[in-house]
Amino acid sequence: MKIITCCSSINEQGQDFKALVFEFMPNGSLNRWLHIESGMPTLKNTLSLAQRLDIVVDIMDALDYLHNHCQPPIIHCDLKPSNILLAEGMSAQLGDFGIYRIISESESMILQNSNSTIGIRGSIGYVAPEYGEGSSITTFGDVYSLGILLLEVFTGRSPTDDMFRCSMDLHKFSEDALPENIWDIADKTMWLHTGTYDSNTRNMIEKCLVHVIALGVSCLRKHPRERTLIQDAVNEMHAIRDSYLKFSRPLVVEDGAGTILQ
């Protein structure tokens, strides 16, 4: 996210007030669109499949930029829906760099002396498991968080959902559904944006969902270096999104309340 300016002043209680001013994001966080706090799901408060694909492409482009195109590289450390904000056109921007880490120029993947930091870097449900074992902060940790995020965006299930207890978690829940039971785990609010469709459209949607969930699972492998590299994940996600949009665009119409597929 772009920082517009900063300010330093005194508040009404006479205390120091310091703030960073960011660009206003009128559509709030991704979290509010995935997990509706009140009311019934409608076209106006849920996301279509196409919107979700666009959003995750934006997120992955941002992560690839931080890891591979910044000098020195930056590790976000807290990738989750509440830290992803949506602009007026529903484009996604990555925010909240409060616990980010910059990789030493002398190292390609591991932050020097990162074991000296206090506590696990990240949020429960999204933080890479190796961090809990005292491992150094790496870009692979962000990739793990990305995997959880991808599963959450397309299943509508939070990794801290009450249904995930004992041996069941979002990773296993999603992986077990591949490929035959993908419709059982897909977020049903997506279908509010979808009208009647033929077998070709259903097959295209199913293929898209299987590829996205499989990509998310590939980012969650136990050993960090076995996880899909972010640059490879970005290329695959662009291909998945572009393939779906190429197929779906001729079928999109406006019904006055939103966009649906016919």
Q: Which are the catalytic amino acids?
A: 78
Measured CA to CA, the distance from residue 149 to residue 84 in angstroms comes to 10
Measured CA to CA, the distance from residue 233 to residue 204 in angstroms comes to 20
Q: Hunting for tokens 């977020």 — which residue is that?
A: 187
Measured CA to CA, the distance from residue 144 to residue 131 in angstroms comes to 11
How many residues are listed for the chain in this entry? 262
- Residues 152 and 34 sit within 8 Å (Cβ to Cβ): yes
Identify which of 244, 217, 243 has the alpha carbon closest to the alpha carbon of residue 228. Answer: 217
Residues 6+ apart with CB under 8 A from 216: 146, 147, 148, 149, 150, 151, 154, 174
Output the DSSP codes for 143-179.
HHHHHHHHHHHHH---TT-TT--TT--HHHHHHTTTT
Measured CA to CA, the distance from residue 247 to residue 145 in angstroms comes to 30
Residue 74 is which amino acid?
I
Instruction: List own/partner pairs for 95-98 with CB under 8 A and 24 or more apart.
Output: 95/1, 95/22, 95/25
